[in-house]
C-alpha cells in the first residue's frame, strides 16, 4: 500500500519527494490535529549525480485527502560561494523547479539554497559528506514459488555513516499489471530508538524472480540525518509498542518555511533479482 506522510499528526505537509514510497506498513489509526495551513514547503535534495537537480515547492495542508498545492512564481537559486545556479519551473510540472546547468559538488563545502516567494526570502545551508560502498543487497525466496522478497539491505545502526537507501523494483517486463513496480526506503542512523526496534510489523514487497532492481545509497550529513530520523519516527515507526508523541519536524530554512535542504553523495547499482 502507499503511505501518505501527510497523515502526520500536528504537522501539515505535502508528500515529500525524498520519502514518497510504498512503505508496506500495516494500517495505523491516525489522530489528526489541524495545524497552520498555507506554509511554504520546500523539498530539496541536491546530489552529485550528473543530472538536472530538482526543487519542489508547495503549500502545507491538514486534510490528507487533499493534494499538495504547487507553488509557482518563485525564484530558486543555488549558491556555491562564487557562482549562482538558477532553477526554472517546469511548465509541465507546476511547482517543480530544475537547475538550468549542472551542479558540481565537493565534500564538506557549504552550499546555500535560496527560495524567494511572495516577498519573503527563505535560505538554507548544507554540505555533502562522502558515501561508503554498498552492503550487498540480498533476496529471499518465498517458499517453493518463483517469488522473492528483500532479505537484507543494511544495518539499522551504523557507527561510521548515516545513509538512506532507495530501492526501485520493476517487473513490468514480466507482467503488465498495474502493480508491477515498487519503491522502498531503508535507513541507517548512528542512534537506535525503541520506536525503531519495536516499530509496527511490515508487509513484504513480493516480486517475481527476474525483476530489475535499482538501488541508490544517499549519504546523510548530521543535520539531514536528524531530519530523516524525525520523519521516520513520525511515519514508519509510529503505531508500535513504544510510540512517541508527534511533534514538528526540524527544518533548516529561514522565515518559517517547512521542509529541508539536503546535499547527498550517491552510489547506484542495477541488478536482476535472483
Domains and CATH numbers, the chain: 5-127+250-259 (2.60.40)
Q: Which residues of the chain have pLDDT under 50?
A: 1-32, 198, 237-246
Strand 138-141 vs strand 147-152: parallel, antiparallel, or unpaired? Answer: antiparallel
**Distance between CA atoms of residues 246 and 243, nearest Å:** 9
pLDDT of residue 193: 63
The reply to whether the predicted model has a pTM over 0.85 is no
Assigned C-alpha cell, 260: 529541508
* Cα–Cα dist 104/49, whole Å: 9
Per-position b or e across 96-116, b if 16+ CB within 10 A of its CB: bbbbeeebebeeeeebebbbe
Q: Would you state the pLDDT for residue 1? A: 31
Q: Which three cell numbers stand for residue 109?
A: 563545502
Is there a contact between 6 and 59 (Cβ–Cβ < 8 Å)? no
**Cβ distance 65 to 15 under 8 Å?**
no
- Summarize pLDDT for 210-229 with one digit per residue, the tens: 999 999 999 999 999 999 99
E-only strand ranges, the chain:
40-47, 54-59, 69-70, 75-79, 84-89, 96-99, 111-117, 120-126, 138-141, 147-152, 163-170, 181-188, 207-208, 212-219, 258-264, 266-272
d(C-alpha 91, C-alpha 72), whole Å: 10
Q: What angle do CA 201, 206, 208 make, to 5 degrees?
A: 165
Please name the residue ranges forming H helices in 74-180.
none
| CA-closest candidate to residue 115, choices 267, 254, 271, 270 | 254
Question: Residue 79 has what pLDDT?
Answer: 98
The alpha carbon torsion through 88, 91, 95, 100 (nearest 10 deg) reads -20
Question: What's the rounded Cα separation, in Å, for the pair 211 and 46?
Answer: 28
Amino acid at each position: 500500500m502507499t503511505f501518505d506522510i501527510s497523515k502526520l499528526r500536528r504537522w501539515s505537509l505535502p508528500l515529500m519527494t525524498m520519502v514518497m514510497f510504498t512503505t508496506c506498513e500495516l494500517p495505523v489509526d491516525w489522530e489528526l490535529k489541524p495545524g497552520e495551513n498555507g506554509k511554504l514547503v520546500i523539498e530539496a535534495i541536491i546530489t552529485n549525480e550528473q543530472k538536472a537537480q530538482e526543487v519542489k515547492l508547495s503549500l502545507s495542508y491538514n486534510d490528507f485527502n487533499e493534494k499538495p498545492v504547487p507553488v509557482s512564481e518563485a525564484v530558486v537559486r543555488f549558491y556555491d560561494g562564487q557562482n549562482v545556479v538558477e532553477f526554472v519551473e517546469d511548465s509541465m510540472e507546476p511547482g517543480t523547479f530544475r537547475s538550468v546547468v549542472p551542479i558540481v559538488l565537493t565534500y564538506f563545502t557549504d552550499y546555500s539554497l535560496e527560495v524567494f516567494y511572495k516577498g519573503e526570502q527563505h535560505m538554507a545551508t548544507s554540505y555533502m559528506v562522502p558515501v561508503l560502498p554498498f552492503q550487498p543487497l540480498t533476496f529471499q525466496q518465498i517458499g517453493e514459488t518463483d517469488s522473492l522478497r528483500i532479505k537484507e539491505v543494511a544495518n539499522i545502526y551504523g557507527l561510521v555513516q548515516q545513509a538512506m537507501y532507495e530501492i526501485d523494483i520493476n517487473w513490468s517486463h514480466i507482467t503488465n499489471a498495474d502493480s508491477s513496480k515498487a519503491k522502498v526506503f531503508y535507513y541507517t542512523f548512528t542512534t537506535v530508538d525503541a520506536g525503531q526496534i519495536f516499530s509496527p510489523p511490515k508487509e513484504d514487497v513480493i516480486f517475481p524472480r527476474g525483476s530489475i532492481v535499482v538501488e541508490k545509497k544517499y549519504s546523510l550529513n548530521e543535520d539531514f540525518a536528524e531530519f530523516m530520523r524525525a520523519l521516520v519516527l513520525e511515519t514508519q515507526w509510529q503505531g508500535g509498542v513504544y510510540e512517541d508523541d508527534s511533534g514538528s519536524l526540524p527544518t533548516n530554512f529561514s522565515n518559517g518555511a517547512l521542509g529541508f535542504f539536503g546535499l547527498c553523495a550517491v552510489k547506484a547499482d542495477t541488478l536482476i533479482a535472483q
